[in-house]
Amino acid sequence: MAVPLLQTKLHVPRVRHALVPRPRLSARLGRAGESALTLVSAPAGFGKTTLVTEWLATAPADRWAVAWLSLDPRDNDPARFWTYVLAALDTAAQGVGAGARTLLESGQATDTVLATLINDLHAVAHDVALVLDDYHVIDSPQVHDAMGFLVEHMPPQLHLVIAGRADPALPLARLRGRGELAEIRAADLRFTPDEAAEYLNEKMGLTLTARDVEALEQRTEGWVAALQLAALSMRGRDDVAAFIAGFGGDDRYVVDYLVEEVLQRQPDDVRSFLLRTSVLSRVTGSLCDAVTGQDGGTAMLAALERANLFLVPLDDHRRWYRYHHLFADVLHARLLAEQADDAPGLHRRASDWYEEHGDRSEAIHHAMAGEDFERAADLVELAMPALRQQRQEATLRRWLEGLPEEVLRARPELSLLHAGTLLMSGELDGVETRLRDAERWVDARVEGHDRRDAAPVGEDPLIRKVRSEIAVYRAAQARLHGDVAGTVTHARRVLDLVGEDAPLERGAAAGLLGLAYWMTGDLASAHRSWAEAVANLERAGHFADTLGCTIALADIRTAQGRLHEAVVHLEHGLRVATAHGTSVLRGAADMHVGLSDVLRERNELDAARQHLATSEELGEHAGLPQNRHRWRLAMARIRAAEGDLDGALQLVDDAERVYTADMFPDVRPLAAWRARVRLDRGELGEALAWVRAQDLSVDDDLSYLREFEHLTLARVLLAQSASVGQERPLREATGLLERLLRAAQEGERTGSVIEILVLQARAHLSGGDLPAATAVLRRAVTLAEPEGYVRVFADEGPPLAAVLRVLEKEGPARSFVRQLLAATSTTAHDAPAHPGLIEPLSDRELDVLRLLGTELNGPDIARHLIVSLNTVRTHTKNVYAKLGVNSRRAAVRRAGELGLL
């Protein structure tokens, strides 16, 4: 059951009848559209909310659509905070934030939620004022960071108004420097003598002299709440002048004194009502009746409002109210001082009322406040399934950490839930304690069964359920520790403990097993486990999680060289994602990225681009967290295939910037992709620096987790050999490729086998052995043709053309070889082949060659190209080697002969 939203938090408070018009301040607020943020910041009781409501009431009807949100401490939960913000914005611009809400409910990153929301707001045709009242109650760093992101990227239609007792943790200095911050502070909000006189005499019905008003205004420094409290205390007094003369100037003591004066002058029934209902953040008639144990709550609230006893209406129907925060604080302090023993019972009655009316969140809050921790724990267990599904781990964690240790230890499901919330946050500290709590509970339960000679423990469903959950979290814990064996052991235990009627648990266990197998390179077992996970998750109706598993299935099939089956998985995922009406599930965008990558490998670049465009159109809310970097990497590979190596490098850098780790093994690190692009750009020095940084060696023990990096090392060695003409790098590359080939064949990773064979062909060509190159490339073509691999050949450029022409004459794969020849001859990042060129020049080598024809020296060329001098020297050596010369003058002359300049 979803936690209901309190609509009263979204209502603009009504303008009070005792309002003193303050046009000077309303005019300043009216210019809010000129600034991104309007801040109304002052201590309690300075009339911040009253001023903003006056401004909204007097603003032209067509000027703003107003989204109002009254905040309270429970809004420090980021999910709850943004849920309410989206609901508020929906009241001002219907439909805005629908995609962001879907994203939020699916547990996406907050910046992705906000990016979607900002895009929605940018399309709104009218101005929207988002008012966040009482923002000072927010102390969550996550909320502050996200609000900073919103402020920095707000569209011009949105204007943010924040009212609170303290400056928010936002980039105020930067906004102030840009002229994007309008501020109204305590000095502005203080009543002038004229405003104080109008308030005290005309609105509150007093007959104070100008001197009395001036004295009171000076002593209160225009503090609105103090003036109001003073006016209430002076009603019916004969010694007004003496009262004013003795009025203190220390705000805290003044408030204590005045409120005490107000309370002492109230009838006993009113005073009792005020104290008892002070435990409530919001009040309505029936709730007050439940808490006080008396009838007449609705009539009492109406009387309090008429008496100006700091009651603020929260809706237009006079059903819900709240006390002025300052007044409520003092009331509650007085309750604890006079009737401390009654406070827990009042909270418990409030908890009962909220539970009966379907607000489990408030019910838990009051049960906690009333120290009825067993009831609070019961309510948390009831709320747990819905909040876990909504990914509101922050709320669950706050509740759990508010419970005493002995309560958590006695309730294994809550202990395990706490472990889960920690793991979801990437925290391992505290997880082991909670898992052991649950294990001790199981041991005690088993011992109890033995003593009573009851039914066999194996038939106790609760024990079995707890044991299976312990095993799930043990497996996840082991995975985060990198303990593959432990992951497998615990995941298999889950499958032993639960039957076919527990698809979620079986799906989780199968997925964890798949991760373990994947890490070891046992892709066949990994695929079987992931397929089982998908089947169970679909049975359980958890379709968004199904799409995450589908990505794993496609990645595994691609590594196995089975592109057709990868497409089958991805297309099935798309059908699942789009089978729910007009909305698509989270993960749909990832399916398009996966299909794009397969199409790119098949050299269908236009179709590959179209899938990436579709993924982008769906928006980040339709993608899993990893989709941001996967999309950029897929586009980088297309750019590289089209010859835009600068664009490809920039996209790889962007992908690394937005990279989000997950449980999947990072078998193709972005740093290795960058090294490959650097090689294509002729930047051998940068690629060698990557090799040193990763501490890679041809003598390393081989594993699937580092296979891609070792393949990249082989490419670096081949480029080094071609650059400096040394045999050692070539010999090392050849030996490494032989070892990699054996490992990939044993692991049935045909995708890797094809790439290794292509690189072996390059190595044989570098050694002048055309027959050997032809033999290994023939094997690669044989493996590649059924699945349509093209780019793995084409990306190597024209050097393979000679070998492919030999294969073309052999007959069996003639049509496919011609396709490869066509793709190879049009590889855009290679310069056109010229007679006399040993190897085509890269784009950057051509840049260096052109500058060699000028009067610039080496350092000047480095500065011009914005690279290091060593990089220029490396490019120059490559140019000399490829042109078959040994001097700058000879290189320029040879380049002219070949038409390269």
Neighbouring residues of 603: CB distance < 8 A, sequence distance ≥ 6 = 641, 790, 791, 794, 819, 823
Neighbouring residues of 595: CB distance < 8 A, sequence distance ≥ 6 = 567, 570, 571, 574, 611
Alpha carbons 761 and 806: distance in angstroms, whole number: 13
pLDDT tier for residue 227 given thresholds of 50, 70 and 90: confident
408 inside domain? no
The per-residue DSSP string of 293-352 comes to: T-S-HHHHHHHHHHTTSSEEE-STTS--EEE-HHHHHHHHHHHHHHHGGGHHHHHHHHHH
Say which CATH number the domain at 865 has.
1.10.10.10
Highest mean pLDDT (candidates 357-361, 711-715, 795-799, 840-844)? 711-715
380 inside domain? no
Say which CATH number the domain at 611 has.
1.25.40.10
Distance of CA 777 to the CA centre of its chain: 45
389 inside domain? no
Nearest in space to 18 (alpha carbons), one of 271, 315, 307, 324: 307
* pLDDT greater than 70 at residue 455: no
What are 607-647's pLDDT values in tens digits? 999 999 999 988 877 787 788 899 999 999 999 998 899 99
pLDDT in the model for residue 221: 67
481 inside domain? no
Alpha helices in 340-430 (DSSP H): 343-356, 360-369, 373-389, 393-401, 405-410, 412-424
* pLDDT greater than 50 at residue 456: no
Q: Do 29 and 98 reside in the same domain of the chain?
A: yes
Provide the domain limits for residue 888.
843-898
pLDDT in the model for residue 244: 76
Q: Is the dihedral of CA 762, 763, 766, 768 positive or negative?
A: negative
Beta strand segments in 139-191, E: 158-164, 181-185
Q: Do 78 and 99 reside in the same domain of the chain?
A: yes
pLDDT mean across residues, the chain: 85
Place of tokens 């609230």: 301
pLDDT in the model for residue 828: 42
Could you tell me if 789 and 602 are in contact, meaning their C-beta atoms sit under 8 angstroms apart? yes
Q: Do 286 and 205 reside in the same domain of the chain?
A: no
Q: Do 578 and 679 reside in the same domain of the chain?
A: no
The more confidently predicted of residues 447 and 710 is 710
The more confidently predicted of residues 511 and 2 is 511
641 inside domain? yes
* pLDDT greater than 60 at residue 829: no
* pLDDT greater than 60 at residue 335: yes
pLDDT tier for residue 767 given thresholds of 50, 70 and 90: confident
Of 189, 206, 230, which closes a domain? 189
Q: Do 152 and 40 reside in the same domain of the chain?
A: yes
pLDDT in the model for residue 874: 83
Neighbouring residues of 569: CB distance < 8 A, sequence distance ≥ 6 = 550, 553, 554, 557
Q: What's the mean pLDDT in 396-406?
A: 91
Q: What's the mean pLDDT in 585-611?
A: 92
Give the relative orientation of helices 373-389 and 343-356 as an angle to the nearest 10 degrees.
Answer: 40
Nearest in space to 37 (alpha carbons), one of 137, 143, 163: 163
* pLDDT greater than 60 at residue 183: yes
Q: Do 86 and 174 reside in the same domain of the chain?
A: yes
pLDDT in the model for residue 246: 65
pLDDT in the model for residue 448: 65
The more confidently predicted of residues 173 and 775 is 775
Neighbouring residues of 615: CB distance < 8 A, sequence distance ≥ 6 = 589, 590, 592, 593, 596, 622, 623, 627, 631
What are 492-548's pLDDT values in tens digits? 999 888 888 889 889 989 999 999 999 888 999 999 999 999 999 888 877 777 888
Tokens of 681: 């750009």
Q: Do 299 and 354 reside in the same domain of the chain?
A: yes
Alpha carbons 98 and 655: distance in angstroms, whole number: 27
pLDDT tier for residue 330 given thresholds of 50, 70 and 90: confident
Say which CATH number the domain at 361 has.
1.10.10
* pLDDT greater than 80 at residue 327: no
339 inside domain? yes
pLDDT in the model for residue 897: 64
* pLDDT greater than 50 at residue 366: yes
Q: 371-403: string of b/e by CB count within 10 Å (b at 16+)?
A: ebbebbbbbbeebbeebeebebbbbbbbbbebb
Of 163, 189, 215, which closes a domain? 189
Please name every residue paired with 162 in a beta bridge, in sequence order, or none if there are none: 39, 132
* pLDDT greater than 60 at residue 391: no
Q: Collapse the DSSP code of 159 into the 3-class scheme (helix H, G, I; strand E, B; otherwise coil) and give the result.
A: strand
Q: Do 652 and 687 reside in the same domain of the chain?
A: no
- CA distance to 334, 603, 766, 773, 775, per residue, from 802 (Å): 93, 20, 13, 10, 13
pLDDT tier for residue 195 given thresholds of 50, 70 and 90: confident
420 inside domain? no
Of 333, 355, 370, which closes a domain? 370
Q: What's the mean pLDDT in 888-900?
A: 74
Nearest in space to 832 (alpha carbons), one of 823, 822, 841: 841
Say which amino acid occupies 746.
E
Beta strand segments in 784-885, E: none
Alpha carbons 882 and 722: distance in angstroms, whole number: 9
Q: Is the dihedral of CA 270, 276, 282, 287 positive or negative?
A: negative
- CA distance to 231, 290, 441, 821, per residue, from 269 (Å): 22, 16, 49, 95
pLDDT tier for residue 831 given thresholds of 50, 70 and 90: very low
The more confidently predicted of residues 899 and 212 is 212
Specify the DSSP class assigned to residue 16: P
Could you tell me if 735 and 698 are in contact, meaning their C-beta atoms sit under 8 angstroms apart? yes
The more confidently predicted of residues 129 and 884 is 129
* pLDDT greater than 90 at residue 377: yes
Percent residues over pLDDT 90 in the chain: 42
pLDDT in the model for residue 115: 92
Tokens of 611: 């899938």
Least confident interval from 124-138, 651-665, 839-853: 839-853
424 inside domain? no
Q: Do 19 and 162 reside in the same domain of the chain?
A: yes
Q: What's the mean pLDDT in 177-200?
A: 85
pLDDT in the model for residue 901: 59
Rg (CA), the chain: 36
Please count the other Cβ atoms lying within 10 Å of the Cβ belonging to residue 331.
22
Alpha carbons 590 and 530: distance in angstroms, whole number: 17
Identify the burial level of 435 via C-beta atoms within 10 angstroms of its C-beta, where 0-12 means exposed, 13-18 middle and 19 or more buried.
Answer: buried
Q: Do 56 and 122 reside in the same domain of the chain?
A: yes
pLDDT tier for residue 20 given thresholds of 50, 70 and 90: confident
Q: What's the mean pLDDT in 267-275?
A: 90
Identify the burial level of 687 via C-beta atoms within 10 angstroms of its C-beta, where 0-12 means exposed, 13-18 middle and 19 or more buried.
Answer: buried
Nearest in space to 46 (alpha carbons), one of 243, 139, 184, 168: 184
Q: Do 13 and 75 reside in the same domain of the chain?
A: yes
Q: What's the mean pLDDT in 336-353?
A: 92
- Report how many domains make up the chain: 6
The C-alpha torsion from 408 through 414 and 419 to 424, rounded to 10°, is: -140
pLDDT in the model for residue 826: 61
Neighbouring residues of 596: CB distance < 8 A, sequence distance ≥ 6 = 607, 608, 609, 611, 612, 615, 634, 638
Q: Do 557 and 602 reside in the same domain of the chain?
A: yes
What are 75-126's pLDDT values in tens digits? 999 999 999 999 999 999 988 988 999 888 887 888 889 999 999 999 898 8
Say which CATH number the domain at 138 has.
3.40.50.300
